[in-house]
Each structure stands twice: as structure tokens, then as C-alpha cells.
Structure 1
């Protein structure tokens, strides 16, 4: 029967082949953990997340992920859904971080092996993933605490002297909602929403976008007592352009939701998210939006970015320099504010406005430009920049531009390159033999023509070859990175967030609600 067989955790940077955690759900695998680790290391990098090992008996599928310095291996000897095991390994990492704290270290796993063993037994029953939600696990597995460790280290302690709060009761009422633990109580009822988008784009030398996509995440941090029922409405620029027969996306491309979201409500009214949230931090939804939705990219509206780049190569007296000019401005960015309703969240808290203070004034931060250099470049000369600092390492130059305060303007970077000298390179193009066209020429005329014409041709060839080498040493593109607080490239925003039902919150309780927007540039490639 197809199931998860075992889990092994290694320190990826330790030469030891002994796992720091070894847990088997079914019969002990025929291949030992040390052998699997050696076979994994024998694979040439970059190693895929699923490796087939035909040399073992029986042949083994080895699933693996790396988190921090820890290597998680899960072998199976039967056909199984790959995404099932891969997602389970990521859930294990998330749960261990939730219990043991971030960052997840091998020393934490070894010091809390009893807690880890309980969690793995609850998360997987006889090899089948069962309970993987952190909120549900907290109802059955107590988190590690100082008092719990003290009580566990004392032997012969009368059970009457142990506080009942530290003893899991077999009759304890478990939550009927898998993703939310029971009896949630908070002194301050608060809701925090973070919308984060990552932009990837390719820009032609003319400045026209060849491709542009935005991958978004809606992250929640819920601190509400009881079992609240929430309704969040999203506003997107493309929400009114739903194609006939297309799945309801509400303007979001390829949406992926947390299990708490009621899909029936989303299908009826795209853009409305109705859900009972888990307690604490979780990802409510993720999506992907094409910033060039038109079938004809030339006629599509070009995205407006706060950072633009103009790159010139093969300039200067010897055509051995390149220059980059960066333009930073937030004037073209539409502030992510609410214009449809005066109070989207209902009654406000007296402590702070509903939206973050940076939404009306987007701030550009962490601007950096990376220039990949060809292997023919030996070093850089006469490098200067009007703002910031640069760092040359290997085959790339990184230029960081500080944007403290409300910086908006232009910054320039210019440098020259020195190419490597390889033996025989300068003589790649051999001088062509003069061709006799059959006409009569005396010996003296031929000799004079060969001397004068040969020198001119040789000089022209040398200049042409040197120019070509300089052109080959110029960067072909530049990579732009930045982040913007208070603005999203796709135009998505939270229109409203309300507590519409539930129980346990208390009469008259008005939770504080805050929303933040953040855009980060991933791989924005500007070609030259």
C-alpha cells in the first residue's frame, strides 16, 4: 500500500552520516539512513527534490528538502503521489518551527525529541498524513515549556502535585474545526493582514515590457478569541473582466486558498473570502497576475515601476566603458488607499487607523542593480557612482543605492573594463592572401601595393578585432531589485474586512485591524 515510510533529518553541513532524527511509520526500510544519505550526496548538484535510486534493493524513491542547514529525507519503495510526500515534508518543517521556534536547528530537535516524536505520530498515522494543522496539533500535543521540562525531569513526583493544566485530559473537548484550536483566548483582539507581491519582468532595450508577472501572498496574523467568522472583500483591476465560462478568479490568476476559505462563496461572488481563520499566523491565499494581460503586448498598458534603468555599453574613447542611469520616482505609483468606502473595517480602534501609514505615501527601499559580466572581463577601471556603493565579486558587480527618506531622483554608475589576454586571440583572423586578378603588374608595383595596402588592412583588422573584443566584454543585461512599502504592482487591495459572525468574541468587542502592502522586485531583467 502506498504510504510515507520514514523520515530522516541530517545536518547538511556535517560530515557525520548519522541522522539527528530517525522516525519510521511502517516496517524498517531495507536501506539504512546512512546509505540513503551517501547515495544522496553522490548525486551531482543541483539535486532534484525527487531522486530515483535503482541500485538499492528494492529500488527507492528518495524525497528530499533542505531547510536552513537541515536535510529532510523520506524514502519510499512503492508508487506514491509525489506532491503528497513533498507537501508533507514542508508541513513537518512548518509545524516544527511553530513548536520549537524559528530558525529550526538540529540542537532544538535533539533537545525536544519527545515532543517531535509525538508530533510525527499525530501528523502521520501508519504512513498516511493525518493531522497537519498546527492549531489542531496544539490540542493534543503540549508545546515545550520550562515548567513541562522541570516536571518531566522529576521522577517519583506524586501526580496530585502536578498542575492539571500540564496534563492532557483524555476527555478534553477538541475543536470541531481542524485548523483552529479550541478555547482560544486573547487579551487584545487584533487582526493583521500583509499583502506581499513579487515581480518578475523582462524589459527590452527600448523600455518596452516583454513579460511581467506578479506573484502575491495574503498573509494573516489572527489574534481573536473564540471562533470568529470573517468576510474579506478584495478589489482588483481585472475583477470586472471575468471571461464567460472561465473559473471565478475575482481578478486573481491561479488563486490557491487555505482550507478555511469557503469556496462556494468565492464561486458565487468572486473577490469575497468567507472563512473561520486559524489562530496565529497563516497564509490565507496566494495568486499570480499577468501585468500584461493583452494578447498583443505592444498594445497592452505598460506597468509603472518606481525604478527604471537606462544602460549604455561600449562608450568612451576606447569603447571600453558602460554606464547605467537609474531613475527612482514614486510619483507615477497610485497609492493603495480605499476610495470606495469611508470606513472599510467598520468601527475603528482608537489606537491606530485601519490601514498602514505608508499606504498613502509609498516608500522605495533596498534598491540594487546587478551587472553580470562575461568571462572575458579581467577587472574594472575608473569605476565611479554618483550615489551609493558598489561591490565587484566574481563575474558580477552589485551597485546598492540608498533611499533613506523620500529620495526621488537619478543616480549614475560608470566603469571601464579590462579584458583578459589569451594566447593567439589577437591572431584569430589571419591576414588574407592577395588575389591575382590576372592583370599585369610588375614586381615593383606589386611590392609597393603589398606594403602600403597590407599595413592599412592589418591596422583596420586589429581595430575591428579590438572593438569586437570590447563589445563581447560588455554586460548584456542588468538585474534590478527593490522593494516598495504601501503599494502593489497588480493594484490588488483589501476593500473591507469584517467580523460577520461566530462566537466567543464578546459583546461590544471591536478588534483592531491593520493592513500592509509590500512589493518586492524578483528577477527584473533589463536588456541592452
Structure 2
């Protein structure tokens, strides 16, 4: 139940790095042969009854991790994710063939620390910084330690002692996720809370459809260029699903070993399945829910991930009506922005119009009051609103779908008219969270060791909501 080897290849399967762990691991050549029949979205490949290969494409590289078949699937997948984060931390994204070849020795030293007896060992970026120097200092080390590098995979202890004595110098921190002797000229502490919103709104009931159809055909709001807020429907169905997935990030550039406390307010909401970074003191959270007390890693980390159900549907709304016009063959999509407090606009607003691409040839008579509408792929039209979209705004799109003439007619001798199946909205909104979560307090409580007496760290908090999966059925 262990890792057998690690291979890094280019997208064509050419090997760039090999790190064997077992005595006789599967070869890259045998893995490449098996990968030919592997579906593109599969991340686990069974190489033999006793061997699995976990693989992931990142930038222009492919990471291959052959393991024994009894290993829990989450372990190798998480290890690959941590390895990619470490390589990004050391060499900056994107990862390329040239970076792997140029920093071969550094990567081998990293792997020597990250894998111990076939299992993940040290995977925190801050801890690895104390063990393995950056590429600019590794060259100095290599000049005086060429012989030990040649036997790196079998003599980790002696080589690491040499590195510590020549390059690191400072004692290791007793906090595993924080490197020792951290120093910053400008001390800063930032908290970013991001929430992604997933909403499913059902189709209108027959009675609602009739009311909206009559209103669309008999009032000025039926115009495709009617954009005033009064065009927003007064009655909308309740969402079937309305979930916010949140992440609390801390970016710390503080000298020494600071102790930080963040107090979060979730209102009356209940957090579902919260997940914490190892630095967070869980006992303090259990005693005082909403309190994140921790000694942070140096740099950026995700302190908390959570899910909250039953949230508001967000600052952007929309609806889809079908069977409009004199021939009852038109559809109409409306999208509008509400007016939440402290928010003036949303960005990257777009709407996907999803329909049966096999039955629909084209969309004719498209009339959009604003934005740009294009059919970009089979079965999907994209309605984009470049730049910033203000609050208290609305827009309308109307058209008719052209049915494929080659379709067989029904019993009545006609081909059924097609309409969109659903619309999907996405956007970015800075300055608000749909769950109402907010930071009540952000402070350094103790442990100011390393900070100058008169140092006053700069602190900041930002909120962002991303509407990623807002589905409205027709």
C-alpha cells in the first residue's frame, strides 16, 4: 500500500523526470501504452491487478504516480496536488519542460523529502523551504556537495545536514507549516473570502407561464429593447437549490511567529462540513464557533472551506419564457441586476442559452437590448455583457429557433417547435457575500516575536461572490 514511483512527462509522453521509490516500479513506457486506451477524463488507470496509476495534466506537463492497488485513492491524488503547489511555489507557474530540466536536482531533493518509504511525508511548502534551498542557492551547494548529490536517493540524512549547515543556518521552526526565521520589510495581513453560488430555479408553473405570456404580448415590456427595472417579473418560483461554497484565505507576510485571531460572523446560517487548515486550533473553534485562531504559514493559505444552504439567489436574476408571439414560436430571456448594499456593479456577466443541438439548426430573429449574442458551439448560445454591469439594470433577448428540416414530423404532420431547455448565468461580484458572512475582527493576539516594537502591520479584508452555476429552467 504505497507509492511505487513518480514520472513527469510532456503531453506527448516523453519522460522528463523519473523518481523511483520501489525496487522494480512500472516503467513510463508501459504506462504510456496503457494510457492510450484511457478515457481523457479518467484520472485513475488500472495497470495490473496489483497496480494503479494516478495521473494529472498540469500546464504543459503530465504527472504520473504508479501505486499499489490497495492505496486509498485520495492519498495519491492529494499528493500530486501538493507537489504541483510546491513546484509552483519554487519555480512559478506555468510549469514547463525547460523548468523541469533546469531544476532537476532541486526537484529530486524535494521528492526525497516529500516521499518517505512510499508514503507522503513533508508536503507543506513552508517546511520544505527550510529543507531544500531555492534554485539560486542550490548552485552554491552543488559546488561543495557534488558527491552527496550523486547518492541523493539513498543518503538523504547526510545531504540534508550539509544543506542545513551551509545554506539554511537558522534552526527549524517547531511549527511544521511555517518556515523558520521569517523576515519581511513590510508586514501585511490580508483576508479574502470567496463564495461560489450554485442555484437551480424550476420552470414556471402553467398558470405563471400564462400570466407572463399575456403580459409579454400585451404590455410594453414585451419589447426586446425594454430595459427599465419595471420589466422584472413580480412573481418568481422559489429555487430548488441555493448553495454557497465558501473559502477563507489568509495571506500573511509577517516577520517572526505571529499568532492571529479572526472572528467570523455567519448570522443565523449553519455551516455544513467545514474543513480547516492544520494551523487552525479546532478546540478554540469548538469552544467559540466562528473564531479562527492560528499561527499562519508564510504566504497564502486556505484556512477554512464551508458550505451554506438556503442562501439568497444573488444580485443577478433571470427568467425564460417560451411560446410567445403570434405563432407561439418565440422565446424570451430576461436578465436583471438587483440593488444590494455596498455593490455598484458586477463583472464578467454572461448567460448560456442551452438547447437541443441535434434538433435546432439555427436561431433567427435574435433581438438583444444590450450585450452580444453568438452561437459558439452546438447546442449553446452565449450572451455576453463586456465590462461592468450596473445595479438596477435589465436586458432582454428574444428570438425563434429554426428546427432541423430533416426531422421526421409527428402524427399531425408537423415538426414540434423547439425552445431553450434552460439558461445558465455566471458573473463576478466584488464586495459582497451571498451568505452574509463577514469578518468581525482581525488581529494579531500574541507572539509578536520578530516584529519591530513600533511595527504596525497593514491589514485588509475583501469579499467576492462568483455566480458559477445559476441554472434557470424553461
Q: TM-score, normalised by structure 1?
A: 0.76
Kept in 1: contact 2:130–2:168 (CA 8 A):
no
- Which among 186, 194, 197 is matched to residue 196 of structure 1? 194
- Which among 105, 115, 125 is matched to residue 134 of structure 1? 125
Match of 2:329 in 1: 320
Counterpart-to-counterpart distance in 2, 1:34 and 1:180: 39
Match of 1:69 in 2: 60
Match of 2:370 in 1: 387
Between Structure 1 and Structure 2, whose CA radius of gyration is higher?
Answer: 1
RMSD: 2.4
- 1:403-431 deviations in whole A, cap 9, x for unaligned? 537453111111221111126x13x42xx
> Structure 1 residues 315, 405: CA separation in 2 closer, same or farther (over 3 Å shift)?
closer
Kept in 1: contact 2:337–2:390 (CA 8 A):
no
- 1:40-62 deviations in whole A, cap 9, x for unaligned? 23123431x32323xx3x63112
Kept in 2: contact 1:200–1:521 (CA 8 A):
yes
Secondary structure of 1:20's counterpart equals strand
> Structure 1 residues 149, 317: CA separation in 2 closer, same or farther (over 3 Å shift)?
farther
Counterpart-to-counterpart distance in 1, 2:63 and 2:85: 13
Match of 1:500 in 2: 445
Unaligned runs of 5+ in 2: 147-161, 205-236
Counterpart-to-counterpart distance in 2, 1:275 and 1:306: 34
CA-CA distance at 1:170 after TM superposition: 7.7
> Structure 1 residues 384, 218: CA separation in 2 closer, same or farther (over 3 Å shift)?
same
Match of 2:247 in 1: 217
Secondary structure of 1:267's counterpart equals helix
Matches within 5 A, 1:8-87: 8-12=7-11, 14=12, 17-29=13-25, 31-47=26-42, 49-53=43-47, 56=48, 59-87=50-78
Counterpart-to-counterpart distance in 1, 2:100 and 2:323: 56
Kept in 1: contact 2:433–2:463 (CA 8 A):
yes
Counterpart-to-counterpart distance in 2, 1:373 and 1:238: 39
- 1:414-469 deviations in whole A, cap 9, x for unaligned? 1221111126x13x42xxxxxxxxxxxxxxxxxxxxxxxxxxxxxxx34xx34xx1
Counterpart-to-counterpart distance in 2, 1:313 and 1:506: 67
Matched, 1:99 2:99: no
> Structure 1 residues 168, 151: CA separation in 2 closer, same or farther (over 3 Å shift)?
closer
My pick for the range that moved more, 121-130 or 58-67, is 58-67
My pick for the range that moved more, 113-122 or 382-391, is 382-391
Match of 2:343 in 1: 361
Counterpart-to-counterpart distance in 1, 2:248 and 2:98: 32
Unaligned runs of 5+ in 1: 157-163, 240-250, 293-302, 336-359, 430-460
Match of 1:187 in 2: 185
Matched, 1:287 2:286: no
Match of 1:411 in 2: 395
- Which among 380, 386, 391 is matched to residue 396 of structure 1? 380
Specify which structure has the higher proportion of strand. Answer: 2
Counterpart-to-counterpart distance in 1, 2:166 and 2:327: 78
CA-CA distance at 1:501 after TM superposition: 0.6
Matched, 1:236 2:270: no
Kept in 2: contact 1:485–1:519 (CA 8 A):
yes
Matched, 1:526 2:472: yes
Matched, 1:509 2:459: no
Kept in 2: contact 1:387–1:402 (CA 8 A):
no
CA-CA distance at 1:488 after TM superposition: 0.4
Counterpart-to-counterpart distance in 2, 1:267 and 1:95: 31
CA-CA distance at 1:214 after TM superposition: 0.8
Counterpart-to-counterpart distance in 2, 1:317 and 1:482: 34
> Structure 1 residues 274, 154: CA separation in 2 closer, same or farther (over 3 Å shift)?
closer
Counterpart-to-counterpart distance in 2, 1:290 and 1:90: 28
> Structure 1 residues 362, 227: CA separation in 2 closer, same or farther (over 3 Å shift)?
farther
Match of 1:300 in 2: none
Match of 1:4 in 2: 3
Kept in 2: contact 1:195–1:219 (CA 8 A):
yes
> Structure 1 residues 148, 62: CA separation in 2 closer, same or farther (over 3 Å shift)?
closer
Counterpart-to-counterpart distance in 1, 2:310 and 2:254: 36
CA-CA distance at 1:203 after TM superposition: 0.4
Kept in 2: contact 1:148–1:166 (CA 8 A):
no
My pick for the range that moved more, 17-26 or 264-273, is 17-26
> Structure 1 residues 27, 506: CA separation in 2 closer, same or farther (over 3 Å shift)?
same
Kept in 2: contact 1:191–1:513 (CA 8 A):
yes
Kept in 2: contact 1:231–1:275 (CA 8 A):
yes
CA-CA distance at 1:165 after TM superposition: 11
> Structure 1 residues 45, 169: CA separation in 2 closer, same or farther (over 3 Å shift)?
closer
Match of 2:234 in 1: none
Kept in 2: contact 1:362–1:485 (CA 8 A):
no
- 1:309-348 deviations in whole A, cap 9, x for unaligned? 121113223333211111112x2x2x4xxxxxxxxxxxxx
